[in-house]
Amino acid sequence: MAVIRNARVKHPASFGTLAHTVSRLSNAQKTSKGAPAYSRFVNRRAGRYLAACAYHLRMTPNAVTGISGLWSLAGIILIAVGHPSIAVGVAVMLCLAIGYAFDSADGQLARLRGGGSPAGEWLDHVVDAAKISALHLAVLVSFYRFGSNAAELLVPVGWTFVGPVLFFVIILNDQVRRAHGTAPAVDASAPVLRSLLVAPTDYGVLLLSFVLFGWHTAFVWVYGLLLLGNIAYLVLGLAKWFRELRALPANRSADRIAE
């Protein structure tokens, strides 16, 4: 999930070394508050290197978003059409992981270039929303094609509801807080324990579960348990977020969001 990006910022005449660019990016990260472990410690680091390379190749954040979407699409297609096996599971996991790393890189590249555009943020969220729904629909197709029972089919159906709702709520929370000027500040020292506790909600953990795609029973159990973790997080989070947002004063910016 990316920040607002600007596709028209001019690059400086001198880029410096790749290592220098990576160092600059390490000092321009989003807040770690609430970020689950894989996203915080693995994906952002991978995205940092990809963003630095993209910067030196003079790529735009929107181009990086497109690459992210294509890698994710490749993994999703493999889920739907590939016969579940160890090799297919590993290939799916790698495609989704690379796509996710580029998803982190586009926002980091935007910050490195000095800002962003509403169109860039819109594009990133559209790709993310499509990916979340398509991923679980692909699992549903795979389960149906390869003989899962009716109870197992309910797991990706549940994900198709919970995943997009949770994504939308998180994005909406951010938008409302921005409108009120209460977005969290960058905090690289956010508690590690909390990042570990919310790991079941991490897209990175979900994509890693596809390593088990060739072991159907194990995959269904892990995939189902992650769904239960996301349901619990969503139910508890809705009550907490509503209380927090209800305490904010009304203003015109927030009214425009509601419209």
pLDDT score for 133: 95
Burial of 51 (0-12, 13-18, 19+ CB in 10 A): buried
DSSP three-state, residue 5? strand
Average pLDDT over residues 229-252: 88
187 pLDDT exceeds 60? no
Q: Which domains does the chain have, with CATH numbers?
A: 18-258 (1.20.120.1760)
Average pLDDT over residues 238-254: 80
Question: Tokens for 186?
Answer: 């960058």
The torsion of the CA quartet 185, 188, 192, 197, rounded to 10 degrees, works out to: 40
The mean predicted confidence, pLDDT, of the chain is 85
Give the C-alpha separation, 223 to 226, whole Å. Answer: 5
pLDDT tens digit string along 1-47?
444 343 333 444 345 777 777 766 666 556 556 678 888 889 988 98
How many Cβ atoms are within 10 Å of 113's Cβ, its own excluded?
20
pLDDT in tens, 131-181: 999 999 999 999 999 988 999 999 999 999 999 999 999 999 888 888 887
pLDDT band at 250 (very low <50, low <70, confident <90, very high): confident
Percentage of the residues of the chain whose pLDDT score is greater than 90: 55
Judged against a pLDDT cut of 90, whether residue 220 lies above it is answered with yes
Contact 21, 56 (CB under 8 A): yes
What the block records as the tokens of 88 is: 């297919």
The tens digit of pLDDT for each residue in 124-140 reads 999 999 999 999 999 99
pLDDT score, position 174: 86
Name the pLDDT band for 111 (thresholds 50, 70, 90).
confident
Beta bridge partners of 117: 5
User: What is the pTM (predicted TM-score) of this model?
Assistant: 0.84
- How would DSSP label each residue in 112-155? HTT--BHHHHHHHHHHHHHHHHHHHHHHHHHHHHTT--HHHHHH
Q: What is the pLDDT of residue 107?
A: 86
Helices (H), the chain: 18-26, 37, 44-56, 61-81, 86-112, 118-145, 150-179, 192-197, 203-208, 216-246, 252-258
Distance in angstroms (rounded) separating the CA atoms of residues 179 and 171: 13
Q: What is the pLDDT of residue 4?
A: 39
